[in-house]
C-alpha cells in the first residue's frame, strides 16, 4: 500500500503552495510521513486527463493505494471526465482522499469503513456531481473571462505579448493601466503579476487606483474599469 499526492495548477506561473501545504497538514494529522508519499505535479489545464505526471501516477498505483488531492477540481475541470476517471480509479482498487470534502474520501487503513447504505451512496453521488458541476462551471467562467480580455485588447488595439520598456507618455501609461486592471478583473491575475506582465510600475498603478476609488466612490475593480473606459481617457 502506497500514498500518492496529486497537485495541479493551470500554468507554471501559479503557486502550488496552497495545495502542498494542505497535503502536508493532512499527512501530519494522520501520521503519514512525507517520505512515505510520492507527489506528482502537473502545470496544465484540467480540461482533460492527458497529463504527463497524472498518467505516470495512474500507471504506478496498485490496488489498495491512496490518492490524495486537496479538491476535486485538482483532478480535473470536466464534469464527465472527472466522473469517468473517478470510476476508473475505483475499478483499479485505488482509494481516493479529497481533503476539502471528507464525505467523499475513502477510510484510511486504521479507520473502520462505514457501512454504506443506499441513502449514503445517493448522497455521495450527488455531492460528487455537484463538485463536477462547480469544477466545469469555473473552467467555463475562466474561459469566458479570457475571451472578454482578448476582445478588449482587440477593441483598443492593444498588442499581445510582453511589451518592452516602461510607459513613456500619458497615452501609453493609460493603456497599460487599463491592461493591468483588465487582466486583474477578467483573468484573475494578481496585481504584482499583471504589473510585471506589462512592465508597469506597481506603485504607479496603486496610486492611480486609489484616485479612481475616490473619484468613483467604489472599490469594485470591474466598476472602476468600466467607468474609466467610458470616459475615454486613453
Q: Where are the beta strands (DSSP E) in 22-69?
A: 37-43, 66-69
Query: How many helices and strands, by DSSP H and E, does the chain display?
Result: 9, 4
Q: Domain span at residue 80?
A: 3-136
CA pair distance 213, 33, nearest whole angstrom: 49
Domain assignment present for residue 143? The answer is no
Per-residue pLDDT tens digits for 157-210: 555 554 444 444 555 577 788 888 888 887 778 888 888 888 888 888 999 989
Domain assignment present for residue 142? The answer is no
* Dihedral, 173, 174, 175, 178 alpha carbons, nearest 10: 120
Select from 74, 101, 136 the last residue of a domain.
136
Asked if residues 73 and 44 have their Cβ atoms less than 8 Å apart, the reply is: no
46 and 126 housed in the same domain? yes
CA pair distance 31, 37, nearest whole angstrom: 12
Per-residue pLDDT tens digits for 59-83: 999 999 999 999 998 888 888 888 8
83 and 176 housed in the same domain? no
Residue 131 has a CB neighbour count (10 Å cut-off) of 22
Looking at the whole model, is its pTM more than 0.75?
Answer: no
188 and 88 housed in the same domain? no
Amino acid at each position: 500500500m502506497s500514498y500518492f499526492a496529486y497537485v495541479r495548477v493551470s500554468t507554471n506561473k501559479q503557486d502550488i503552495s496552497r495545495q502542498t501545504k494542505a497535503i502536508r497538514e493532512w499527512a501530519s494529522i494522520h501520521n503519514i510521513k512525507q517520505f512515505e508519499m510520492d507527489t506528482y505535479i502537473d502545470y496544465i489545464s484540467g480540461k482533460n486527463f492527458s497529463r504527463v505526471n497524472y498518467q505516470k501516477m495512474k500507471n504506478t498505483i496498485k490496488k489498495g493505494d491512496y490518492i490524495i488531492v486537496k479538491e476535486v477540481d485538482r483532478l480535473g475541470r470536466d464534469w464527465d471526465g472527472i466522473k469517468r476517471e473517478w470510476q476508473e480509479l475505483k475499478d483499479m482498487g485505488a482509494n481516493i482522499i479529497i481533503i476539502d470534502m471528507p464525505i467523499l474520501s475513502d477510510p484510511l487503513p486504521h479507520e473502520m469503513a462505514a457501512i454504506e447504505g443506499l441513502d449514503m451512496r445517493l448522497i455521495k453521488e450527488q455531492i460528487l456531481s455537484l463538485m463536477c458541476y462547480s469544477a466545469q462551471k469555473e473552467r467555463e467562467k475562466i474561459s469566458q473571462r479570457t475571451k472578454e480580455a482578448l476582445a478588449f485588447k482587440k477593441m483598443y488595439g492593444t498588442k499581445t505579448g510582453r511589451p518592452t520598456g516602461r510607459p513613456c507618455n500619458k497615452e501609453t501609461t493609460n493603456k497599460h493601466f487599463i491592461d493591468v486592471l483588465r487582466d486583474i478583473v477578467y483573468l484573475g491575475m494578481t496585481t504584482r503579476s499583471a504589473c510585471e506582465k506589462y512592465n508597469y510600475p506597481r506603485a504607479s498603478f496603486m496610486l492611480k487606483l486609489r484616485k479612481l476609488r475616490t473619484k468613483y466612490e467604489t472599490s469594485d475593480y470591474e466598476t472602476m474599469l468600466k467607468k474609466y473606459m467610458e470616459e475615454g481617457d486613453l
